[in-house]
Amino acid sequence: MSERLVELAKAWMADDPDAESRHELAAIVARSIAGDAAATADLNERFAAPLEFGTAGLRGLIGAGPGRMNVATVMQAAAAVARDALQQLPDAATRGVVIGRDARIKSDVFARAAAEVFAAHGMHVYWIAKASPTPVCAFLGRAKGAAAVCIVTASHNPPDYNGFKVYGPTASQIVPPQDERIRDLRAALEPTLAIPRRTFSEAVREGLIEIVGHQDLLAYLQAIDAQCLGDYPPPAQVAAVTTALHGVGHTWVADALTRRGHRHLFAVLAQASPDGRFPTVRFPNPEEKGALDLALELARAKAADVVLANDPDTDRLCVAVRDASSPTSYRVLTGNETGLLLADWILTEGPKKAGRDGLEAWPDKPFVACSLVSTAMLEPLAAMRGATYAEVLTGFKWIWHKALEVAPAGATFVYGFEEALGYCVGRAVRDKDGVGAAQAMMDLAAFEKAQGRTLLDRLDAIALAIGVSHTDQVTLTLPGLEGMARIARVMKTWRASPPETLGGLAITRRRDLASADAEAAGLPRGDVLTWWRADGSRVIARPSGTEPKLKVYVETKSAVTAGDLATARTAAKASCEAISGDIRARIAAID
């Protein structure tokens, strides 16, 4: 038992506005005082450091203490966001804030606490009463011209996580220096019990909190409809299985697709209703093994052409395609494969369809972007299709930061993606959007089916045009303080003594974005290491900004000779596997 930890815990309890978390912490303190080592270790985790704004705002385990997601940490974050907005924008109070939430455990409690803090600061609150997709909330921020958007969500994290995602006055996620200002304001806050807080019912009566109406929500569907490039009605009906993985996307995706004329839709009903416990999946991330089992089972039963799976807050999309060689075999596309498919669709159909049927004219300087850990193949595809291209740091906030940065020079954002299943297929939402991406993917699948082809055929055509690549990800999951320390040791070791070879070939170029290399690359600084081999293979290592993970991304390339895709893909895969095996061995060798 540590007397210092106990005193910190008692001080937190004295300033905690939530009785449930006070009781939780009191029980842990009592066990620690009684000599329970596990309880003492738990206290140490909770009080080692406060949650900090990462890739997508605050995110962490639900529980009492400054290192957890709870009413107090949400109130503190809301107060800091409110004060930053009021200091930076003279009309912030009237522009207000949009507050949304997913269906996770305590999301409703946290969102209500945030609304009460914003109302007490005099900011008008647009309150989305039902748990809703993150892209819907982000869209409303732009539609309302809000000074900020705050969404209580932990995206695809396990059920015992929650988070607080923040968007600025551009309706895109916050980036420096705004996140730094919010951090500093949060550190300087008064005690939590002294933070102004207007009760929800009072704020509604006084007009400080406005319940968002159905027409405002419908405007989102109208906006993503308007950026679709597929024909209406679709030239062929594609049979699709959809799953929301117990998240909030089921009705939204169904409505969005039926509005486009897609009729052969089969939902995984066991996963259609929002449930923050995620009872049928171990991990509610469509990338994870087993997450798509029920969807693939239904797809086989219905002989579906495609499977569309969203994560719990519906800002991501995973796609599986029936393999023509077997009616019961499905290939789950990587995020990079889906990213290239959507990029090719937009960059080929955009110039044909834009300017017709009420769509905006195709821009003279179309611009696409992806995160630097995504496939490097977007660059040659963009060049082939007449678009400019940029890579950015991981996190969709950087894609839209770059999009807004290049706009004054006349470039117009048309598409962006990240390999972790995030896609933005237009400008209606300044973030990744799993609903809009599902619409675009179904339109593309219908187009291909009408030509007697599949999405896999389209991938082959892209590979023949720009070459073959193979990607893999080596992930080390290490929760807790010890895990964070080990991840830091791996990164420190690789900085001090980077590998000379990987997979049997020499490293010919290195980049460390924590150094002046970032400025040379035109990127913000970040904890990211990149190594290149002479054959064009690339390896990127970084700690995750939202999960207790070290992630290493591997991409290899292979030339296509005489149209022989199979040989090229076999070679790229073998090279990728050799590098990944080498990386795993190197990680294991670092204590």
**506, β-bridge pairs:** 501
Number of other residues whose CB lies within 10 A of the CB of residue 204: 17
pLDDT surpasses 80 at 546: no
Considering the domain architecture, whether residues 330 and 456 belong to the same structural domain is answered as yes
For residue 12, tell me if it sits in a domain: no
Q: Catalytic amino acids? A: 155
pLDDT given at position 359: 79
For residue 347, tell me if it sits in a domain: yes
What digits encode the pLDDT tens for the residues 101-112?
Answer: 999 999 999 999
Radius of gyration of the chain (CA): 24
Tokens for 299, please give them. 């797809």
Contact predicate 133/253, CB 8 Å: no
Considering the domain architecture, whether residues 225 and 371 belong to the same structural domain is answered as yes
For residue 509, tell me if it sits in a domain: yes
DSSP 133-201: -HHHHHHHHHHHT-SEEEEE--TTS-TTEEEEEEE-TTSSB--TTHHHHHHHHHHTPPPGGGS----HH
Considering the domain architecture, whether residues 509 and 581 belong to the same structural domain is answered as yes
Domain boundary among 437, 466, 495: 466
Return the CATH number at 340.
3.40.120.10
Ramachandran angles phi, psi of 376, nearest 5°: -75, -5
Average pLDDT over residues 170-176: 96
pLDDT given at position 55: 67
pLDDT given at position 17: 98
Return the CATH number at 531.
3.30.310.50
Q: Which residues contact 45 (CB under 8 A, 6 or more apart)?
A: 67, 480, 481
* Measured distance CA(133)–CA(138) in Å, rounded: 9
Considering the domain architecture, whether residues 399 and 300 belong to the same structural domain is answered as yes
* Measured distance CA(216)–CA(140) in Å, rounded: 7
What is the percent of the chain with per-residue pLDDT over 90, rounded to a whole number? 91
Domain boundary among 440, 466, 492: 466
Taking alpha carbons only, the member of 234, 167, 134 closest to residue 436 is 134
Domain total of the chain: 3
* Measured distance CA(541)–CA(539) in Å, rounded: 7
Taking alpha carbons only, the member of 48, 44, 70 closest to residue 59 is 70
Considering the domain architecture, whether residues 406 and 493 belong to the same structural domain is answered as no
Considering the domain architecture, whether residues 233 and 203 belong to the same structural domain is answered as no
Considering the domain architecture, whether residues 282 and 309 belong to the same structural domain is answered as yes
pLDDT surpasses 90 at 360: no
pTM: 0.95
Taking alpha carbons only, the member of 229, 446, 192 closest to residue 354 is 229
For residue 19, tell me if it sits in a domain: no
Q: State the burial class of residue 211 (Cβ atoms within 10 Å of its Cβ: 0-12, 13-18, 19+).
A: exposed
The chain-wide mean pLDDT, for the chain, equals 95
Considering the domain architecture, whether residues 462 and 479 belong to the same structural domain is answered as no
For residue 358, tell me if it sits in a domain: yes
Considering the domain architecture, whether residues 269 and 380 belong to the same structural domain is answered as yes
Q: Which domain holds residue 93?
A: 69-174+185-212
Domain boundary among 466, 484, 511: 466
Q: How many residues does the chain have?
A: 591
Considering the domain architecture, whether residues 200 and 228 belong to the same structural domain is answered as no
Q: Which residues contact 36 (CB under 8 A, 6 or more apart)?
A: none
For residue 40, tell me if it sits in a domain: no
* Measured distance CA(332)–CA(347) in Å, rounded: 23
Contact predicate 414/350, CB 8 Å: yes
pLDDT surpasses 80 at 265: yes
Considering the domain architecture, whether residues 76 and 207 belong to the same structural domain is answered as yes
The one-letter amino acid code at 387 reads A
pLDDT category, 541, cuts 50, 70, 90? very high
Contact predicate 197/174, CB 8 Å: no
What digits encode the pLDDT tens for the residues 295-341?
Answer: 999 999 999 999 999 999 999 999 999 998 777 899 999 999 999 99
pLDDT given at position 480: 82
Pairing of strands 161-167, 388-392: unpaired
Q: State the burial class of residue 540 (Cβ atoms within 10 Å of its Cβ: 0-12, 13-18, 19+).
A: buried
What digits encode the pLDDT tens for the residues 497-515?
Answer: 999 999 999 999 999 999 9
Contact predicate 76/118, CB 8 Å: no
pLDDT category, 242, cuts 50, 70, 90? very high
Considering the domain architecture, whether residues 158 and 147 belong to the same structural domain is answered as yes
Q: State the burial class of residue 446 (Cβ atoms within 10 Å of its Cβ: 0-12, 13-18, 19+).
A: buried
For residue 574, tell me if it sits in a domain: yes
* Measured distance CA(321)–CA(391) in Å, rounded: 28
